[in-house]
Amino acid sequence: ACTVTLVGAANLAQLAEDALGRKSGSTAAILNEIAPCFVPAADGNNLHTDAVVLACTHYPLLLDRLIALAPWPVAWIDPAPAIARRVVDLLGPNTNDAHDISPEMIFTSGHTHASADVLAPFFGGRVPA
């Protein structure tokens, strides 16, 4: 007994990448991207958007701003745990004892990525590049 509305946000991933690169994305641009997600009750009761799925791995980078810009509180569903489970399904279970290994970010280009400093906190500060 729910209604699902598919909303395309053609520019939101780029806005998230801009934020990752420490460019302050326009609040109006972000609001314009998420506004169609918020469907108010047509009949005056409490039926309105109660959850938004962040269906791109970039979108959680804007989560603080998305929460602040939402016209009412909603549950924001981050796809990262589901994506991680799917990767495990594809790769199979871990066969070594890697529980004590901290996450790290590795760039294979041989060049330090411009976003390394911004991403470092998400990887325990460890960025071998």
Strands 75-77 and 51-53: parallel
- Is 120 in contact with 102 (CB distance < 8 Å)? no
How many angstroms separate the CA atoms of 57 and 109, rounded?
A: 22
Low-confidence stretches of the chain (pLDDT beneath 70): 43-47, 96-129
- Is 76 in contact with 54 (CB distance < 8 Å)? yes
- Position 39 scores a pLDDT of 82
Query: pTM of this prediction?
Result: 0.65
- Is 61 in contact with 80 (CB distance < 8 Å)? no
- Position 83 scores a pLDDT of 83
Q: Which two tokens stand for residue 22?
A: 């420490």
